[in-house]
Amino acid sequence: MLASPMLLQGSEWIIVIVLVGAVLVFGPDKIPQIAKQVGRAKAEFDKASNEAKTMMDTAMKSIDQETSAVTKSLNTAANEMKSSFESTANEVKSSFDAAVSSAQAPASAPATSDASNLPPISSAPTPPVAESKAAASTPMANEVDADGLLKLAHRMGIATDGKTRDEISEEIFSKSGSQAKA
């Protein structure tokens, strides 16, 4: 089965039929004018298509630039927040460590065999921090530690009204432990 090069197949017949129909409808004199108009229309379509493509490329570049600027801004803000969080965490840790070490300082004093130098043991609860500051019978270091403990509690959002130092310390410790796990 050899195919003859002269035979037309499929869509080629449609093109031939359209051309023959155009010659019959418009006449052979108007075909060049119609072809010229079709060529101009195609050129205008290509020009509009290229303009639309250029506009889309420009818009995409603009969007890319804005996106990269926003990304850079967000990264900068995230880094600032991270460093702020880390410095606050370090402050909280150092304040907490200072509060814990000051609370443990009396327990780490050297033991003596002479019990007459020791203060009497009281079963009364420790007074609230506000009252103990008003009493002012402790050395200045304890007041500084109490102030640090209060500042730390306020930074962590812990209410201190009517609570003892021990209660505040325990709440700070439990809250910092739960934050460390999260």
> 3-class DSSP state for residue 128?
strand
Task: Say which residue, 181 or 24, is predicted with more confidence.
Answer: 24
Tokens in use for 20?
A: 């023959």
Q: How far apart are CA 169 and CA 149, in angstroms?
A: 7
- Within a 10 A sphere around the Cβ of 149, how many other Cβ atoms? 23
The structure tokens listed for 132 are 């103990």
**Cβ-contact 143, 133 below 8 angstroms:** yes
The whole-number pLDDT of residue 113 equals 46
Q: In this predicted structure, what is the pLDDT of residue 65?
A: 92
pLDDT tens, position by position, 103-142: 776 544 444 444 454 444 444 455 554 444 444 444 444 5
Q: Where along the chain do its domains lie? A: 13-85, 127-182
- What average pLDDT does range 95-108 have in this prediction? 72
Residue 22 has pLDDT above 50, yes or no: yes
Amino acid at 26: F
Tokens of 70: 């926003």
Residue 141's pLDDT is what? 45
How high does pLDDT run on average in the chain? 77
Residue 123 has a pLDDT of 43
What value does the mean pLDDT take over residues 164-177? 84
Q: Give the pLDDT confidence score for residue 112 in this predicted structure.
A: 47
Q: How far apart are alpha carbons 71 and 99 in whole angstroms? A: 41
Taking only the tens place, the pLDDT of each residue in 48-91 is 999 999 999 999 999 999 999 999 999 999 999 999 889 888 88
